[in-house]
Structure 1
Amino acid sequence: MASESKSALRPFGMKDKLGYMFGDFGNDFTFILSSLFLMKFYTDVMGVSAGVVGIVMMAARIVDAFTDITMGQIVDRCKPTKDGKFRPWLKRMCGPVAIASFLIFQSGLAGMPYGFKVAWLAVTYILWGSIFYTSINIPYGSMASAVSPESKDRAELSTWRTIGSSLASLVIGVGTPMIAYVTVDGKTMLSGSRMTIIAGVFSVCAILCYLLCFKMVQERVQLTTKSEKLDLGKLVKSIATNRSLMGIIAAALMLLLSQLTMSGMSSYVYPNYYGSAAAQSLSSLVGMAGTLLICAPTAVKLSQKFGKKELATAGAIVGAVSYLLCFLLRPSNPFVFVAFAAVATISMGYFNTVVWAMITDVIDDTEVRTGVREDGTVYSVYSFARKLGQAISSGLIGALLTMVGYSEATAFDPAVTGKIFNLACLAPFAGFVALALILVFLYPLNKTRVEQNVATLAARREGKEN
């Protein structure tokens, strides 16, 4: 690379994988906290209606349409420093993203006027997700292409990224309900003051994880720095005609819509329908432990044998079947519901484990077809799709909860909680079915084509070096 001599570069190894793991650990200290508890915090603690929260979160994605693509263009055009092309952004932006996340969960403002609370949510949420999170997540995700040119290494980075996400899910999904919920008059309720403290602790942890990623990961591949002027029309046309990119965008949108609706509804189905915060913690524990112990050790081997697309499709089908059975059987025991949810989480864990390697496959496919490599741009478009999925799921949860009549006053009404159970099963079921159809009919990068692209690019680069 321009910033480091080749002799100074150590071989790709465990230090890189652990460092990349810490990067997503840092991301998810704020991302998963928002996904799991922001809606619950603002409906139950701040007294804002679920519909309004959903609208605010969806509106923020309009901002993302500009900030994500802009950040992708910045990354593609920025010149490498002594620390590399992508790594410096981790150090620059870790503080702002952590502070913004903490500001979202300020229970001390619960007594303020309704309009002020909605405005506070909108401003802090946009600062966190649309600006600061974007400015660290897009360089972090794009960095995988610069860490190693080898497909197997990138698949391992994707696996370790998923391990980081799973560890964060364990800490947040298991630990937070055990601390944040209190029993008041026999009802399981979220404590606002505890959530504020938890958000502060997680923000500090996010900063530490980002800095570990910065220190441990090394960039080895010198990627082309774009210099031509941005042509927005050409960019939009390039995205719209890129079938592999459109396929992974649609898949990401449906994956996030399914999973975040599933996890978002867990904050209502466990404490309100089943009256068990412990079951919510156990659900996160079992699902994430299964991802770590089953998916992570086997995903690379299975994807090499069958293909990433094929593995992800199978996971989506199993997840859909699990939630359909749960809806039909309607278990009265919360721990039986936990078992069904765990099967779906683990089966989808395979997609989550290889999806980041699928992004590099899309980047490779784009380079094969066009001769231009745009890591930052492709990743920023994918990142926007993920955040759009997050926002739509929040908006969907808010709309559905409003539709069934959920409010502070009806939170434990059996007629309302029964409908919440239905939503908790049928929403992810529909999402997983749609995801499987997208992967089969829209996303074109099967095992054979990925291998052909890798061989084509290797031959091109070898020809340039000779």
Structure 2
Amino acid sequence: MAENLTHGIKFKDKLGYALGDMGGIFTFSLVGAFQNKFYTDVLNIDPAKIVVLILVARLWDAINDPIWGAFIDSRKPTKQGKFRPYIFWFSIPLAVACVLMFTVIPNLTPAKYLLFAYITYIFYGMMYTAVNIPYGSLASVVTDDEKERSSLSMWRSIGAGVGGLPGTVLLPMIVYTTTGTYANGTKIQTLDGNKLTLCAVVLAVLSVVIFFFHYKMTKERIQPLAKKKGDYKVTQSIKDLFSNRAFVMLSVAAMFLMAFQFYYQSTYTYLFTDYYHKPGLYSLVAVCSYLPMAVFIPIMNKLIDKFGKKELCSYGMFFAAVVTFVLFFIKTSNPYVFLFFVFLSGLGQTFLVLELWALVMDVIDYHELRTRRREEGTAYALISFMRKLGQTLAGVGLNALLAVINYNSDASKQGKALADDVLAKLYDISTLVPAIFFLIMALVLFFGYNLAKDKVTELHAALIEQRKNEK
């Protein structure tokens, strides 16, 4: 294939690629911010039972995700491409699954609510896999240029940030209903399941529209390597990927990044509702987390040229860890001070959030260089599964910690404030756990991930030469 067809992306490509994550995050951020509280406060499901639900869903993902990635890699591309058709057509059942997951069916018994939660939660996870694995793999066939891939990763993060705004900024101001006042005059605000269902319907419909424009605006430029019948063996591919140190370390970092993102979205919902008694302020968490992107996006490529992706991401996570440990120790009762520290933490997180998918493309290239096979679907499926393990870690950990601190989901409905010791522990688990996650990511990236700046440059030069020889 002519070299000029493998890169040279335009603004249309970047915007179209960003729309793909925007469409997915439209519903995914809703799940992250409200699913746990919906289960505990609206459906009255015991946190311990939610833990089992999440574990069962992840057990199924361990089977489902690699199979789906392997299926995509084993199929011949259509005229529309190898990945794009899956993204659009599965976006429709994904939207349906989101609505079902936040639907309140009147007069069900607790056992039936739990069964319905199992069905809808697992269905949503399968549909998200069906869309997200081909979407995550798409960037590696849009361009082979390192700077353009970095740009796509940043645009994906922008799309994710915009896609998360309705669920994390707008909805907290809509889905709560005032049901009374505490003894000190503070309003009692309770999550309204019916309002949340209507919001889920709107976001689900909009997500399909956004995925349609993503489909129309993207183009697959990199043709897959020719395969002979029987060439693809999923077990060999998985074995090779897990013998790739860079792939393993990045997968671990991606897992903890997802764990942090899911954990803080869910935990801060409780924190701002029950600790600060200002659920509307939760909408500023996303603003403070993503605002640092506006600072770094214009200069990100220059920073990467000077320092390298690995280096920026690891030091950024060290900074986020220090800031969040400070937040844990100061025990602030002022929500605006808390939000300021969220902004500072966001400055450190921004590098990995913006560059994660560029790093993923680097490890896929490294896999191709080592094995002479390009298997984006399988690689991304495994990373996707690791990210779901992070989601599991967050969900299981949060519900276990809520049980440990004796969180009472009926307190607001009964017009009662949580006990002071419970509130203090709620603050602790909202700050200490994220700080630990940041520190783990920093250590994994700095000491474990071995594709530093110079090695990435050598990698891409060697890969270009290898592809020329294989034509």
Q: What TM-score, normalized by structure 2, do the two folds share? A: 0.93
Question: Partner residue of 1:157?
Answer: 152
Is 1:451 aligned to residue 457 of structure 2? yes
Rounded Cα–Cα distance in structure 1 between residues aligned with 2:93 and 2:372:
36
SS of the residue 1:107 aligns to: coil
- Counting only pairs closer than 5 Å after superposition, residues 26-425 of structure 1 correspond to structure 2 as 26-109=23-106, 111-129=107-125, 131-185=126-180, 186-224=187-225, 226=227, 227-228=229-230, 231=233, 233-291=235-293, 293-410=294-411, 412-413=417-418, 414-425=420-431
Q: Quote the residue 2:443 is aligned against.
A: 437
Residue 461 of structure 1 corresponds to 467
| Aligned residue identity for 1:446 | A
1:228 is paired with a residue whose SS is: coil
Aligned residues: 459
Alignment identity in percent? 34
8 Å CA contact 2:238, 2:378 repeated in 1: no
Amino acid at match of 1:363: I
- The CA distance in 2 between the partners of 1:158 and 1:339, in whole Å, is 26
Deviation per residue, 1:124-176 (Å, 9 max, x gap): 111111x2111111111111111111111111110100000011122221101
Please report how far the alpha carbon of residue 15 of structure 1 lies from its aligned counterpart in structure 2 after TM superposition: 0.4
How many Å apart are 1:290 and its aligned residue? 2.7
Task: Tell whether the 8 Å contact from 1:279 to 1:338 is kept in structure 2 after alignment.
Answer: no
Structure 2 Cα separation of the partners of residues 276 and 30 of structure 1 = 24
Whichever residue aligns with residue 418 of structure 1, its letter is A
Q: What do the CA deviations read for 1:328-386 (whole angstroms, capped 9, x no partner)? A: 11111111111111221332121010000100100111111122211111111001111
Contact 2:70 2:234 in 1 (8 A): no
Separation (CA, whole Å) in 2 of partners of 1:333 and 1:9:
52
* Equivalent pair of 1:327/1:425 in contact (CA under 8 Å): yes
Determine the C-alpha separation between the residues in 1 that align with 2:313 and 2:398.
Answer: 25
SS in 1 for 2:332: coil
CA–CA distance in 2 between the matches of 1:296 and 1:45? Answer: 39
Q: Is the 8 A contact 2:65 2:382 kept in 1?
A: yes
Q: Could you tell which deviates more after superposition, 354-363 or 340-349? A: 340-349
Give how far 1:322 is off.
1.3
Does structure 2 retain, via aligned residues, the 8 Å contact 1:43–1:408? yes
SS in 1 for 2:215: helix
Secondary structure at the counterpart of residue 143 of structure 1 = helix
Shift of 1:299: 2.6
Tell me, which stretches of 5 or more residues in structure 1 are unaligned?
A: none
The one-letter code of the counterpart of 2:140 is: S
Q: TM-score, normalised by structure 1?
A: 0.94
Check whether the contact 1:87–1:140 (CA below 8 A) recurs between aligned residues. Answer: yes
The 1:345–1:182 alpha-carbon spacing in structure 2 relative to 1, beyond 3 Å, is farther
Deviation at residue 181 of structure 1 after TM alignment: 1.5
Change (3 A) 1:240 1:402: same
